[in-house]
Amino acid sequence: MKIMRPVALAALTASLATPALADRQETLYLNPFAGFQLFDDKRDLAETGTFGVGVEYRFLPRWSVEAVYSRASANQKYISGSSDFQELRIDGTYYFAGPDAAWNPYVSLGAGHAEFGVDDNFPINTAGTDQEETRVNVGVGFRYNVSDGISIRGDLREFHGIDDSTFDTMASLGLSWAFTRTVASSKPAPAPAPAPAPVDSDGDGVPDNRDQCPNTPAGVQVDSRGCPIDSDGDGVPDYRDECPNTPAGATVDERGCEGITETVETIELQVQFPTNSSIIDASFDNEIRRVADFMNEFPETTVEIAGHSDSIGDAEYNRFLSQRRAEAVANRLTSVLGVDPDRVSAMGYGEAEPIASNDTAAGRAQNRRVEARIQVTR
C-alpha cells in the first residue's frame, strides 16, 4: 500500500526539530500501543483490534508533537471479505501537568492520511481499488509515569473522514519509553551574588563561623575565639570573677575566689518563668525570701543561684537562658530582699545537671528548676 511521502517527511521533521528555547527539558517518547477501533457504518467494516507506534517529541513541559503509524485488518460487516487499514498522522498534544508529575492528563488534535485496502475477491468499493482518505482527529487521554523512563498511556480518540464525512472511534493503551535531556541556557551565567556579610549572632565582634563560645552575654569582653576573657587564668571569666588577679595555680571556687567552697544547704525554689523568658515579678518574692531568711540566720554563708533546664532545644541556648533566669532570681534577692550582693552569685547550668529523665514530660518538668545552693568557704 502507498503512504504519502509528504506526510512521512513532515512526521520525521516534527519529531527531530528542536525549538530554540533555553533552559528546558526535552523528552522523546517511543509509544507502541494496542487499540480497538470502531468504524463508521458507511465503511462496511467490523470493529477490530488496531496496533501502532508513535514517536512523540515533548519540546516544552506541557506541549508535544507526535508522528503516529497504525494498522489493522478488519472483516467486512455485510459481505464476506476483509480490508487492510493503515494510517500515518501528526498529533499536537497539550498536557495539564508537567513531566515530573505522576499523572499527565492531556488533550490532543491532529490530522493524517488513511488507506483502506481491498481483498482481491471482495473489493471494498465498486472500483476495486484502495481507498484513500484524509482524517482529522481529536483525543483525550492520560500518561502515568511509572518511573523516569517508563510510562503507561491511555487514549480515546474520535476520527472524522473528510472525504465521505465518516466518524470512527478508537480506544488504545500503550507502554512508553522516555529519553530525556536538559537543554542548557544559551544566555551568559548571571554574575555571582556578593558574599553575605559575616553573621555575628551574639554581637561580640567575632563571626559565628569562628566563634567557639556562641551566645556570650551582651557587653562581655571576648578574645579572638569569641570566648570571655579570663585575665588571671583561673578558669573563671572576668565578667564572673569576683576575685580578679588570683595567683597562678591557686584553687578557686566558681566565683574565682580562693578557698574551698562547700554547699551546706540546697533550697529548690518554686519559681516559674514564661516560655523563653527570664522575667519574674514580685509574686515569687515570698518563695525567694526563704533564701534571704536562711542567709540572715547564718551570716557566714554565701549563695549560688543555680539555673537548670531540660534537654529540649539547643544546649548552648539552654545554658544561656538558665543563666539569665538565675541572674533574675539573684537580682530579686539582692535588690528587693536586701541580701548583700557580695554574698550572691548566679550560674546557669542548662541541661548539664538533670535530676530526672528527659525522656518523659514529668522528668523534663523536674529538670526545669532554680536552686539556691547555700555555701560556706572554709
Question: Residue 231 pLDDT > 90, yes or no?
Answer: no
Residue type, 240: R
* Among the listed residues 92, 115, 112, 108, the one whose alpha carbon sits nearest the alpha carbon of residue 157: 108
For residue range 136-162, what is the model confidence (pLDDT) as tens digits? 999 999 999 999 899 999 999 999 999
Question: Residue 1 pLDDT > 50, yes or no?
Answer: no
pLDDT score recorded for residue 129:
56
How many Cβ atoms are within 10 Å of 121's Cβ, its own excluded?
A: 8
Average pLDDT, the chain: 85
For residue range 188-204, what is the model confidence (pLDDT) as tens digits? 667 777 767 788 888 88
Average pLDDT for residues 210-216, to the nearest whole number? 86
Can you tell me whether residue 76 is helix, strand or coil? strand
Count CA atoms within 13 Å of residue 348 on its CB side.
22
For residue range 293-340, what is the model confidence (pLDDT) as tens digits? 999 999 999 999 999 998 998 989 999 999 999 999 999 999 989 999
pLDDT score recorded for residue 150:
95
The CATH fold of domain 5-183:
Porin (2.40.160)
CA 198 to centroid of chain Cα atoms: 26
User: How many Å apart are CA 199 and CA 203, to the nearest integer?
Assistant: 9
Question: Residue 252 pLDDT > 90, yes or no?
Answer: no
Average pLDDT for residues 15-42, to the nearest whole number? 77
pLDDT score recorded for residue 218:
80
pLDDT score recorded for residue 64:
96
pLDDT score recorded for residue 291:
92
Q: Which residues lie closer than 8 Å to 200 by C-beta, 6 or more apart?
A: 206, 207, 208, 211
Class of domain 260-377: alpha beta
How many Cβ atoms are within 10 Å of 195's Cβ, its own excluded?
A: 6
pLDDT score recorded for residue 209:
87
User: How many Å apart are CA 298 and CA 246, to the nearest integer?
Assistant: 27
- C-alpha grid cell, residue 97: 501537568
57 within 8 A of 65, measured Cβ to Cβ: yes
Provide the residue ranges of all domains of the chain, joining segments of one domain with +.
5-183, 199-223, 260-377
Strand 103-116 versus strand 166-183 pairing type: unpaired
Question: Residue 351 pLDDT > 60, yes or no?
Answer: yes
How many Cβ atoms are within 10 Å of 319's Cβ, its own excluded?
A: 20
pLDDT score recorded for residue 186:
61
For residue 238, give the DSSP letter.
G
pLDDT score recorded for residue 30:
97
User: How many Å apart are CA 228 and CA 222, to the nearest integer?
Assistant: 4
How would residue 5 be classed by pLDDT, with cut points 50, 70 and 90? very low
Beta strands in the chain (DSSP E): 24-38, 48-60, 63-75, 82-95, 103-116, 131-145, 150-161, 166-183, 261-269, 302-308, 344-350, 370-377
pLDDT score recorded for residue 188:
62
Angle between helix 315-335 and 285-297 (nearest 10): 70
Task: Provide the whole-model pTM.
Answer: 0.44
For residue range 255-288, what is the model confidence (pLDDT) as tens digits? 777 766 677 788 988 887 777 778 888 888 999 9
**Comparing 5-183 with 260-377, is the CATH topology the same?**
no
User: How many Å apart are CA 35 and CA 151, to the nearest integer?
Assistant: 17
Residues above pLDDT 90, as percent of the chain: 49
Question: Residue 2 pLDDT > 60, yes or no?
Answer: no
Measuring CA to CA, how many Å separate 203 from each of 200, 220, 249, 277?
Answer: 5, 10, 32, 20
pLDDT score recorded for residue 119:
55
Measuring CA to CA, how many Å separate 300 from each of 103, 261, 295, 374?
Answer: 80, 12, 8, 10
Phi-psi region of 124 (alpha: psi -120 to 50; beta: other; left: phi over 0): alpha
Can you tell me whether residue 334 is helix, strand or coil? helix
How would residue 247 be classed by pLDDT, with cut points 50, 70 and 90? confident
Question: Residue 96 pLDDT > 90, yes or no?
Answer: yes
Measuring CA to CA, how many Å separate 317 from each of 195, 214, 302?
Answer: 28, 9, 27
How would residue 187 be classed by pLDDT, with cut points 50, 70 and 90? low
